[in-house]
Amino acid sequence: MLLLIIPISILLYYFYRGEKLPKDKIIDRIEVYKSKRKMNVYSGGILLKTYKIALGKNPVGHKEIEGDCKTPEGTYTIDGKNPESAFHKNLGVSYPNEKDLEDAAALGKSAGGDIKIHGLRNGRGYRSKFHRWKDWTAGCIAVTDYEIDELYEAVKVGAEIEIFP
């Protein structure tokens, strides 16, 4: 019996997409909780949905320099959308801010950039929710392809994103 339950559970996990984001809602705030691997999205102060996420390969602490594989912490904005991304689609995060640039310069390094909320690498969408089993990005916030599709439509450029430890 157990030999049957395990594969069925894996299939259910893989194919069940969960609750959909409500239609015709504009997301104006995003909160990321790195330690919980969760991202909440809001419209007008109302929580619309919570996503499970994957982070940079070195997730503890604030991003300091280019190549440290950390996901930044702090308050930023969504500064663009890219439907032609190497990772299905993406939403740009306005990292680095002035303080990030100053801190990296004090270390004699580049702060880096190109931080996104994105789907899976093109051609690898079949991994679906299994990508969450480990942190794998270079500092971005990763969701499944179908999740970035709904976020891409609903998140407004200029939305605030606050990333907590």
- Annotated catalytic sites, by residue? 118, 140
Per DSSP, 87 falls in state: S
Asked whether the CA dihedral 99, 92, 155, 71 is positive or negative, the reply is negative
DSSP reduced 3-state for 164: strand
Residue 73's identity, in one-letter code, is E
Report whether 148 contacts 78 (CB < 8 A). Answer: no
